Amino acid sequence: KQEVTQIPAALSVPEGENLVLNCSFTDSAIYNLQWFRQDPGKGLTSLLLIQSSQREQTSGRLNASLDKSSGRSTLYIAASQPGDSATYLCAVITDKLIFGTGTRLQVFP
Amino acid sequence: NAGVMQNPRHLVRRRGQEARLRCSPMKGHSHVYWYRQLPEEGLKFMVYLQKENIIDESGMPKERFSAEFPKEGPSILRIQQVVRGDSAAYFCASSPGGSSGNTIYFGEGSWLTVV
pLDDT tens-digit readout, A49-64: 998 888 999 999 999 9
Rg (CA), chain B: 13
Using CA atoms, how far apart are residues A109 and A62, in angstroms rounded to an integer?
19
What is the average pLDDT across B50-56?
Answer: 93
**B-chain residues within 8 Å CB-CB of A95?**
48, 55-56, 98-100
Is A102's Cβ below 8 Å from some Cβ in B? yes
> Within its chain, how far is the Cα of B32 from the centroid?
8
> Which one, of A14, A19, A16, A2, lies nearest residue A103 by Cα?
A19
Residues 65-104 of B with CB under 8 A from A: 91, 93, 98-101, 103-104
Q: What pLDDT does A1 receive?
A: 84
Cβ contact, residue pair B106, A94, below 8 Å: no
Using CA atoms, how far apart are residues A8 and B103, in angstroms rounded to an integer?
25
Angstrom CA distances, B47 to A7, A58, A75, B102, stand at 27, 31, 28, 18
Cβ contact, residue pair B45, A97, below 8 Å: yes
What is the average pLDDT across B50-58?
Answer: 93
Q: What pLDDT does B66 receive?
A: 97
In the predicted model, is pLDDT for residue B77 greater than 70? yes
Q: What pLDDT does B100 receive?
A: 62
Residues of chain A with pLDDT under 70: none
In the predicted model, is pLDDT for residue B84 greater than 70? yes
A32 neighbors B104 (Cβ within 8 angstroms): no
